[in-house]
Amino acid sequence: MKKGRFIVLEGLDGSGKGTQADLLIEEMKRQGRNVYLTAEPTASSTGGMLRDALGGFVSRDAYELSAMFLLDRIFHNANPKNGIRQYIENGIDVVCDRYYYSSFAYQGIDADLKWVMDMNLNCPEILKPDLCIFLDISPEAGEKRIADNRLDREIYENAQAQKRIRARFYEVFELLKDSENIKIVDASRTVQEVSADIIKIYNQLKEN
Ligand code: TYD
């Protein structure tokens, strides 16, 4: 049986990943693909602990957060009920809102980047995506979208952190340019323009 495709959407907070994931999936289904939408942090108990930390209700350092995201990601790949691996091996495509690139960019601003990258990239349980699409917006534009849509702010949702995280994303994409399939899309345009670009990139993925 042909394996499913594994596609990740990444971006700063407020970059429109959720909306774009929905539009991409609509198009993939229109093309006859079977698609499963998922996100990190997951709905696991580790995901719950992460949400407490992201919400600022519990204080965790960047190394604890990195390890917790790693644990959540291993569960996300390997759990027998709705793990990513199960879907891919059964020929179902997976679209995931955030993945290890977020750990590199977000935890990598305070924890040692190489350590965070090594433990994710060298873990045999953690699948490598076929494609990562980065929705690029300026930290200022993201800030505006967050301010318009949210009442509460998570620990990384401030202009200073977002600026450092965006720089980290670019640094990481440069480090990974020969080993991963990463495409950057200008997400400051209209929803339709951004979606058209994402679909174009998706259509360039080779049949596997
Ligand atoms: P987000 O996509 O903003 O979810 P929601 O809109 O439901 O809040 O992701 C939650 C936060 O988690 C976001 O600020 C980025 C952060 N994050 C990390 O710091 N490291 C990671 O490895 C992942 C997957 C997410």
**Reading across the β-sheet that carries 182-186, which strands appear in turn?**
35-39, 93-97, 6-11, 131-136, 182-186
Assigned domain for 154 exists: yes
- Per-residue model confidence (pLDDT) at position 199: 98
Atom of ligand 1 nearest to the CA of 103: 22
What whole-number distance in Å separates Cα of residue 191 and Cα of residue 16?
8
State residue 117's pLDDT score.
98
Lowest pLDDT segment from 29-38, 88-97, 117-126, 152-161: 152-161
Ligand 1 centroid to residue 2 C-alpha, Å: 31
- Is 184:6 a contact under the CB 8 Å cutoff? no
104 CA to centre of ligand 1 in angstroms: 12
| Ligand 1 centroid distance, CA of 191 (Å) | 21
What is residue 192's predicted lDDT score, i.e. its pLDDT? 98
Average pLDDT over residues 165-194: 97
- 168 close to 104: Cβ distance less than 8 angstroms: yes
**Residue 125 in contact with ligand 1 by CB distance below 6 A:** no
- pTM listed for this prediction: 0.96
What are the backbone dihedrals phi and psi of residue 31, each rounded to the nearest 5 degrees, phi first?
A: -85, 5
Instruction: Say if residue 208's pLDDT is above 60.
Output: no
Distances 107 to 59, 69, 112, 131, 171 between C-alpha atoms, Å: 14, 9, 8, 22, 14
Q: Is the CB of 69 under 6 A from ligand 1?
A: yes
pLDDT tens digits for 75-128? Answer: 999 999 999 999 999 999 999 999 999 999 999 999 999 999 999 999 999 999
Q: 198: CA distance to ligand 1 center in Å?
A: 21
How much is the pLDDT for 143? 83
Q: How far apart are CA 32 and CA 45, in angstroms?
A: 34
The label of the residue with tokens 């670019």 reads 170
- Tell me, yes or no, whether 73 lies in a domain: yes
Owner of token pair 């924890």: 111
Q: How many domains does the chain contain in total?
A: 1
pLDDT higher at 148 or 58: 58
Q: Which CATH number does the domain housing residue 48 bear?
A: 3.40.50.300
In a domain, 152, yes or no: yes
Q: Is the pLDDT of residue 206 over 90?
A: no
Domain of residue 85: give its range.
6-207
> Does residue 104 lie in a domain region?
yes
| Within-domain flag for 1 | no
Q: How confident is the model at residue 21 (pLDDT cuts 50, 70, 90)?
A: very high
Mean pLDDT over 136-153 rounds to 85
Q: Is 184 inside any structural domain? A: yes
Average pLDDT, rounded, for the chain: 95
d(CA 162, CA 154): 12
Structure tokens at 68: 């917790």
